[in-house]
Structure 1
Amino acid sequence: MRIPLTPDPCEGVRRPVWRVQTEQATNAEVAQVQLEQLLADTDHRHSAGTARPTEAEALDAYSQAVIRAVELIGPSVVSVGIAKRAPEELQRRGLPELRGAGSGVIIAPDGYVLTNSHVVRSAERIELHLQDGRMLPANIVGDDPHSDLALLRVLDSGLPAAELGDSSRLRVGQLVVAVGNPLGFQATVTAGVISALGRTLRTERGRLIENVIQTDAPLNPGNSGGPLVDSRGQVIGINTAVIAGSQGICFAIPVNAAKWVVSALIREGRVRRAYLGIMGQTVSLDRRLAVRHRIEAPTAVRVAEVHAGTAAERAGIRPGDLLVILGDSPIGSLDDLQLTLGRHRIGEPLVVQLIRNGEGITIEVRPTELPD
């Protein structure tokens, strides 16, 4: 701001200093008053509970997120009741069949339901209990024990299908809700967060499921096969396992993996996986061999047995060979071998690098289908 200068008639000299100091003081006083008023208004709003969220409000927001997710997914969650023939010893005691229950989720309005393989394995009769009270018989479209997933079908339409999400977009720490319906009543609900991504889970068949979701949302056996959903109620996984003796370590099959399995089950009734035909073990790799052949992994897979008539035998793989690279993937363990094969197409050529008697050998193999 430009300050007007007034000459002193006595001395004929301009003295503007006192006017500047006065105006600066006035501006400072106004600014202080405005600041005090602003702080007073802020304190008033906080005291009225309209700006700063309290602990109770934050907790209520968390509860509302869980409630909304449950309301969205609830109608799609079903109880899966099964009956199977009892062993002969129990039949002689007057118990002709055994019953069990798990959970499932409707994934298509025309009657497709996804659950765990171990829930319906060996079942002779399956019945689904819907949230609206209906009981519908179901058939197994396909079963994949290697991923612990099974696809069921009921002869009905217009069912409340869940919305499937995208498990590739998940983040550690994200809110998740596990929903089940083990007894055919209202859904049972637990909530937590994603503890880790990319875990590996070994199934009852001994195979590995990669990129499994680890969560601290508590599960019980009756919730197996139920959905794991995000705050929007979208299915991001299928609850499958709890680590025995652990506290809060639970796992779910990622929905993207489930989509691939479902497509295969609808198309062929089964999931086809690549197979070499060897038995082996993980062994330490001699450091001199590793340096000589430029192998970074400290371990490799030693072939213990080659099954007759398999792709490995036809390709010339022998007992004692050290498998170090399959395709573009280093093979440091049997788990590495299995996971790499699981991503490869049946019948397509695959380059195998191995060490035999200290010498590096490269061969080509065409994996066949893994037998049941």
Structure 2
Amino acid sequence: MTGSLRERLGKFACSVACALVVGQGTVVAPSLAVRLTPEEKNTVSVFQKAKEGVVFITNLTNRQDLFTLDLKEIPQGAGSGFVWDDQGHIVTNFHVIKGASDVQITFQDQKVKHGRVVGYDEDRDIAILQVDEEALDAGSRSVEADTVGLGLGPPASIKGDKARGGTNSGAEAQKGGLGGNADGIAKPLPRGSSELLVVGQRVYAIGNPFGLDHTLTQGIVSGLGREITSGTGRPIYDVIQTDAAINPGNSGGPLLDSEGNVVGINTAIYSSTGTSAGVGFAIPIDPINLFVDQILKYGRVTQPILGISFAPDQLVDELGIEGILVLNAIEGGPASKAGMQATTRDSFGRLVLGDIVVGINGTECKNSSDLYRVLNKLAVGDVVSLSIIRGNSKQAIDVTLMDSNTVIPRISLQSALTAEDLGDFGDDEP
């Protein structure tokens, strides 16, 4: 027998010894640490550390019983969320809790609690809940065991494709108020940076697809800088694309990097069937940090605006215009104060085109998406430089952005123009 053969037989005998029969026929499997690869060990570690901070959210609505006429709370949707801080705040997607009369939050230890809506931003599809301290009795829980097939509210839509998703708080959750580890405290998940992500990087999604709690899927960052559309029609930019399986029920759950840091919030999938097709989308965490801070401070996101209404891109294209055609400038708004001219009618009823925005802060502006992309990175009080075409000349004007909640439309119905007014533009004399 050769030395190499003896060596191989010795290794075989050693592996057999690791699985000897002990006691009444119980087989002892090899150590878990021996069987797992370094990559698998990291995956297990990420899941074990993060699972306590991921919650199952049930959207409840009131329905009247047809026979007794009594109002009952029934589930109308479900999704996921994760613990944001040690104050009892949970972050999720807005479409997960939209239209809810009540929200129930189930923790990893199956403790169920009420959630109050602290604030939300529908344009960016995010919402913050405050966990009530008192846990619900098992008999008062309205969460049904079988949640397969529950909707997640109005689906988010992908530009050009099909996608499916998807008052200030005064009380703070006291120690032991959240479900979770042995101490009864669900620790907030650590947050990373979405700006540092690269295509090909491994990521993990934890959520509750089809009501199956704390499900882990893994994949890679398949693409960056994607664009999807929120339920309000406003675009969400710089979205992360991943092939980590995301299904109905995953919405609002965290997308984690290999160190267990939250880098995004899972929000939509591209699918013709409503189930995962290997193309999922997550809102990046970097802008979410700013939005959540604003919601916790003001109860809403401070939205910087120019104070204009403009013609839809499709109509502008039909008119042969490249840029943003200003229909109206809100009286007292930023654009109005800067002297921006709106589209009007002359004494003969013919349309007189207003200013056409072709650039903002040195960035070319061909359509509304270009405008939103720049505005989303700015804050209230910032001064922007707009390049406009007025008549036959190109000009530059500076506009100080204002908060959308401080600008009230005060345009008379007689002078206000809408996109429909452009329909007869082609019949007017030049």
TM-score tier, shorter chain, comes to 0.7 to 0.9
SS of the residue corresponding to residue 238 of structure 2 reads: strand
SS of the residue corresponding to residue 255 of structure 2 reads: strand
Aligned position for 2:310:
279
Aligned position for 1:311:
334
How far apart in 2 are the matches of 1:91 and 1:199?
49
Aligned position for 2:223:
196
- Taking the TM superposition and a 5 Å limit, the aligned residue runs for 1:58-137 are 60-86=37-63, 96-99=72-75, 100-137=77-114
Partner amino acid, structure 2, of 1:110: Q
Identity %: 32
Question: How much has 1:312 moved relative to structure 2?
Answer: 2.4
Alpha carbons 2:311, 2:326 under 8 Å: kept: yes
Match of 2:369 among 335, 339, 343: 335
Aligned position for 1:291:
none
How far apart in 2 are the matches of 1:360 and 1:315?
16
Aligned position for 1:187:
214
Question: How much has 1:89 moved relative to structure 2?
Answer: 11
SS of the residue corresponding to residue 109 of structure 2 reads: coil
Aligned position for 2:292:
262
Of stretches 147-156 and 306-315 in structure 1, the one that deviates more from structure 2 is 306-315
Residues 351/186 of structure 1: CA separation in 2 closer, same or farther (3 Å cut):
closer
Alpha carbons 1:77, 1:181 under 8 Å: kept: no
Partner amino acid, structure 2, of 1:239: N
Greater helix fraction, Structure 1 or Structure 2: 1
Partner amino acid, structure 2, of 1:333: N
Residues 217/103 of structure 1: CA separation in 2 closer, same or farther (3 Å cut):
same
Question: How much has 1:364 moved relative to structure 2?
Answer: 2.4
How far apart in 2 are the matches of 1:176 and 1:187?
16
How far apart in 1 are the matches of 2:356 and 2:35?
57
Matched, 1:302 2:298: no
Ranges in structure 2 where 5+ consecutive residues have no aligned partner: 13-33, 134-172, 176-184, 344-352, 407-430
How far apart in 2 are the matches of 1:177 and 1:90?
44
Alignment: residue pair count: 312
Aligned position for 2:198:
171
Question: How much has 1:95 moved relative to structure 2?
Answer: 7.0
How far apart in 1 are the matches of 2:303 and 2:297?
15
Per-residue CA shift, 1:46-100, capped at 9, x if unaligned?
A: xx89xxxxxxx999554433322211211111101121234x8989987744412
Question: How much has 1:135 moved relative to structure 2?
Answer: 1.1
Partner amino acid, structure 1, of 2:53: S
Aligned position for 2:260:
233
Ranges in structure 1 where 5+ consecutive residues have no aligned partner: 1-39, 50-56, 288-297
Alpha carbons 1:115, 1:149 under 8 Å: kept: yes
SS of the residue corresponding to residue 286 of structure 2 reads: helix
Alpha carbons 2:65, 2:72 under 8 Å: kept: no
Partner amino acid, structure 2, of 1:150: A
Alpha carbons 1:179, 1:228 under 8 Å: kept: yes
* TM-score normalised per structure 1: 0.74
Partner amino acid, structure 1, of 2:293: S
Per-residue CA shift, 1:288-318, capped at 9, x if unaligned?
A: xxxxxxxxxx942222344455332333322
How far apart in 2 are the matches of 1:310 and 1:67?
54
Aligned position for 1:150:
127
Question: How much has 1:242 moved relative to structure 2?
Answer: 0.9
Partner amino acid, structure 2, of 1:84: T
Residues 91/83 of structure 1: CA separation in 2 closer, same or farther (3 Å cut):
farther
Aligned position for 2:347:
none
Per-residue CA shift, 1:87-118, capped at 9, x if unaligned?
A: x8989987744412110111223311111111
Question: How much has 1:344 moved relative to structure 2?
Answer: 2.3
Matched, 1:346 2:380: yes
How far apart in 2 are the matches of 1:149 and 1:111?
17
